[in-house]
Amino acid sequence: QSVLTQPPSVSAAPGQKVTISCSGSNSNIESNFVSWYQLVPGTAPKLLIYDNDKRPSGIPDRFSGSKSATSATLGITGLQTGDEADYYCGTWDTSLRAGVFGGGTKLTVL
Amino acid sequence: EVQLVESGGGLVKPGGSLRLSCAASGFTFSSYSMNWVRQAPGKGLEWVSLISGTGTYIYYADSVKGRFTISRNNAKNTLYLQMNSLRAEDTAMYYCARGTLYKSPDYWGQGTLVTVSS
């Protein structure tokens, strides 16, 4: 059971928008920065969002992040078939003194 | 360009040991914390351990505490994970990932596969 809770799957049509939620607690999401990752089988995990809402260079502005209290959200607009992947949120848990991840969300672009 | 290259994975029997290495390049290694993160087959990401840039601060997941030891050699730009008393549930792809203390990682390696089986 993951410390952070994500929906197992989401889906939308090409060109549409999707959001992925990440729910935690005051010892992790509320107290620390949240990151989001894209995992494609056979490739290294890619950082999409760091510090709640910042994009690394090279990540298109179709990807966005936000945080409110104990929850964080990843938004993806203008969906493309190449966006099909697993997405994970991650942060630090101050009480556990450990890194924590969500269980992952599989995005299907119909 | 940041590069992280893991090595040392393989097949090991339950109760056995393995040492993973991660060779880093493209950044000032000693200025960054480093993590090990794993992903078991068909499962999600699981954070394993973190070591600060100087090695002063070290943290472990409860699932590996007492069995795994993280270390680093800043002169060689290399991160290590000594894994002892391995169990079947330790079977996973192990990723080396650069980070900042108390934040999730930014750059990740391609991973090295550890299989614990008799």
For the cut 90, the answer to whether the pLDDT of residue A1 exceeds it is: no
Mean pLDDT of chain A: 96
Which secondary-structure segment (H or E) carries A25?
Answer: none
CA nearest to A35, candidates B100, B42, B93: B100
User: Which residues in chain B are closer than 8 Å to A100, comparing Cβ atoms?
Assistant: 47
For the cut 90, the answer to whether the pLDDT of residue A109 exceeds it is: yes
CA nearest to B99, candidates A4, A91, A60: A91
Q: Are residues A78 and A72 in contact, defined by beta-carbon separation less than 8 angstroms?
A: no
Confidence of residue B102 (pLDDT cuts 50, 70, 90): confident
**Under an 8 Å CB criterion, which residues of A touch B?**
2, 32-35, 37, 39, 43-47, 50-51, 56, 88, 90-92, 94, 97-104
Q: Do B106 and A50 touch (CB under 8 A)?
A: yes
